[in-house]
Chains A and B, each alone.
Chain A
Amino acid sequence: MLELIVISTLNGVLFGMLLFLMASGLTVIFSMLGVLNFAHASFYMLGAFFGFQVSRWFGFWPALLIAPLLAGALGAGVERFGLRRVHRNGHVAELLFTFGLAFVIEELVQIIWGKSPVDFRIPALLDFPAFTIFSTNYPAYKMFMLLVSIAIFVGLLLVLKKTRIGLIVQAALTHPHMVGHLGHNVGRIFMLVFGVGTALAAVAGVIAGPALVTQSNMAGLLGPILFVVVVVGGLGSLPGAFVASLLIGLVQTFAVSMNGSLSGAFGPLSPAYASSWLADIWGVTIAQVAPIVPYVLLVLILIFRPMGLLGTRDT
C-alpha cells in the first residue's frame, strides 16, 4: 500500500509539473491579453515535433534549446500578425481565431510528419533507472522532466517578481494605458509574452515527446485538461496554475490506483436491479472514471468558486 502511495505521488507530481509547464504560458497569456488561447496545446505539439526533427539533425540537447525558440518565434509571429489584427474585432473573434489556428496546426503537422507516431527517443545519456524504490525503477528521464519543470517554475516566478521586465509585465496586466504613457511599447510586451508563453509549451513538448507519444493527436489529448488547470487555478494566476496542476496530476494518478466502487462501499446491488442501468453505475470503479475526474472538478469549481482556487477575479 505504502509502495503504491509513494509511486503514485511521484507519478502524480510529474504529470502535474508537465501540466504546469503548459498551463503557465496559457495563464500568463490570458491574464495579459485576455485571450483564451485554444491553440496553446498545439504549440506543445509543435515543440515535440520540432524537437524530434532537430534532435534528428543535431541531437537532443540542442533540440531542447532550438525547438522552443522556433515555436516561440512562431507564437510571437502569430500575435504580431494575427491576433493583434483580430483583436480589433473583440474577444469572440480572438477566440475563434485561436480555435481555427489549432486545426490548421494539426493539419500542417499531419502533412509534414504524417499521422502515426514518430520515433522520438529518450537521449542515451538519460536512459537508465535513476533509483529503485520498493523494487520499482524510476527512470532518470522522468527525474529530468521533473527538475526542468521545477527550474522553469522558479525562473518564471523570479522573472515576474524580481526583474524590471517582470514589473512592466505585471503593470501592463492591470494598467496597459498607463504603461504605454510611461513610454513602454505595450504591443511589443504583448508579443514577447505570447512568444514566451508558447515557447514554454514547446519546452513541455520537447521533454514530454520522448516519454509519452509524439503524434498529431497529442494536442487534442492534452488540450482540454489545460483549460481545467487554468480555470481551477484561477484565470491569470500563476501560483494558482501551479497548485491546480499538481492537484489535477495527483487526483488523476490516485484515482487510477483506486478500486473502490459503489458496490464496494455499500455491498452488491440487490438481484432485482442486476440487469438494469443501475448495475453499470454500481459496479464502475474509481479507476475507470479517473479520466473524467478533472472535468468534474472543473464543473464544481465553476459552480462554487468561479474565480478559481487562487484567482482574484471572476471568469
Chain B
Amino acid sequence: MRKLVIAAAFALPMFGGAAMAQETVKIGYIDPLSGGGASVGEVGLKTFQFLADELNAKGGIQGKKVEIVPFDNKTNPQESLIQAQKAIDSGVRFLTQGNGSSVAGALSDFVTKYNERNPGKEVLYFNYAAVDPVLTNAKCSFWHFRWDANSDIKMEALTNYMKTVPSIKNVYLINQDYSFGESVRSSAKAMLAAKRPDIKIVGDELHPLLKITDFAPYIAKIKASGADTVVTGNWGQDFALLLKAAADAGLKVNWYTYYAGGTGGPTAVKQANLNHQVFQVGEGIPNLDHPSSQEFEKAIRAKYDFSLFYPRAVNEMRMLAAAADKAKSIDPIKVALALEGMEVEVFDGGKGNMRKDDHQFFQPIYISSLGDRTEKEPFDEEKTGWGWKLVAKIDTPATVLPTTCKMERPN
C-alpha cells in the first residue's frame, strides 16, 4: 500500500505535466548557460523570455501560453544533442539555438534524423544566430529555419563598405577555430581580394573557441604585423577579452566585427577608447529612426539591464506566432509550411522574407559604429555613454545570395 502511494505521488505530477503540456507551446532554448559562452547565452534566454511574455500578453500562440524552457549545452555539440533529446522528452516541439555553428550543424542533423524516425512527432529547429553558410547550402534541412543573415551575407555587406574606405591597407584576420570562424576568414579573404586587390592580408589567425583567457600574445602579434584594420567574427568572451587585451596594450586599429555589441563588448571598446573605430554588421541597432523598435528597446531596458542584441529573435518569435495563425495550428509541419516564403515587416522596419529554397531569412542589413552619440542616437550601450551610430544600410534585395540547397521535403 505504502509503495503504491509513493508511486502515485511520483506519477501523478507527471500526468499533470503531460496534461499541462497541451495548454502551452514549449520552446526549448538550447544554448550555453555555463562556461565561456554563458554571458551571451543568458542574455539570449532573457530576450526569449521577454518575447514570450510579449506574445502571452496578446493571448499567446493560437490561444496557448508560450513557455521558454532553458537547456544548458555548454557550447558543446555532443551535450546539445543530449539536451535536445531531453527537451523533446519533456514535450518540446520547437527548439531554438544560436551560439556556435558547430552546435547548429549537429542539431540540424539530429532534428532531421529524429523527424525521419518519428513521423507524427516532428520537431522544428529555429536558428537565431548560428551563421555558417553551410546550414542553408550543402547541409540544408527542411526542419531548420535561420533568422540571422548567414556569414557570407554579412561579409558581403561588410566588404562592400570596407572597399569604400581608402585608409584600409593592411588587414589582419582573427577568428575562432571552428566552422564559423573558418567561413569568416575564407570569405573575407576571397571578397577583399575581389573588391580591393590592393589590400594586403598581413595576418590570418584561428584561435581555440571560448578557451583563451588572455589575448595578450595575439595582440602582440597583431601589433607586430603592422595592421591598420582587424576583421573578426569573434563573439562572447572571445570578443570582449580580445578588446580588453587590445586596450591594455594600447593597440589602435579599426575593427570590423560581427558581434561587437555582445555582452561585455561595448565595455571593452570604451576601455580601449576606440571612438567610432569599431564597426558591426547586423540586422539592427537600437539607434535606428524607427519608433516601434525604439519603444521595444525602452521596454526591454526597463526590465533587464541590457539592450536588445537579437532583433532576429523578435522576428523569429513573431513569425512563429504569425505562421501558427496562418496554419491555424501549432503542428510543427503545418507551421513549417506556413513559414516557407512568408513575407513580413521586420522588427527594425523594412520587408523580410523566409526563402523557401533554403529557409534562410532575408532582411535589411545595417553597418554601424560604436562611439560618442548625437541627439539622433538616444541609446547607449552597457552604461558606457557610447552608442551605435548608423553607417550604412543595405536593403533586402541587395543581400540576397544564391543557394546550393537541394531540400528534401516531407511527403
Contacts and interface: CB of A to CB of B under 8 A. Distances in A.
A259 to B, nearest CB: 8
B34 A135 contact: no
Size category of the binding interface on chain B: 20 to 34
A264 interface: no
Contact of A137 (B35, B211, B237, B248): B248
Given A110-B34, A211-B214, A139 B177 contact: no
Interface string A265-293: 00000000000000000000001100100
A132 interface: yes
B241 interface: yes
B26 to A, nearest CB: 23
A115 interface: yes
B241 A7 contact: no
Interface string B152-191: 0000000000000000000000000100000000000000
B165 to A, nearest CB: 23
A257 B216 CA distance: 10
Contact of A213 (B33, B213, B249): B213
B205 A136 contact: no
Interface in A1-20: 1, 3-4, 7-8, 11-12, 15
Interface stretch (A83-91, A147-155, A216-224): A216-224
A186 B173 CA distance: 58
A212 B38 contact: no
Contact of B216 (A11, A115, A218): A11
Interface residues of A, number: 37
B214 A15 contact: yes
Contacts of B213: 212-213, 218, 221
B214 A212 contact: yes
B11 interface: no
A117 interface: yes
A218 B211 CA distance: 10
22 contacts: A1-B224, A3-B224, A4-B224, A7-B220, A8-B220, A115-B34, A115-B35, A117-B38, A134-B223, A136-B223, A136-B249, A136-B250, A136-B251, A212-B213, A212-B214, A213-B237, A216-B34, A217-B35, A218-B213, A221-B213, A287-B207, A291-B211
Interface of B: 33-36, 38-39, 42, 177, 203, 205-208, 211, 213-214, 216-218, 220-221, 223-224, 237, 241, 248-251, 264
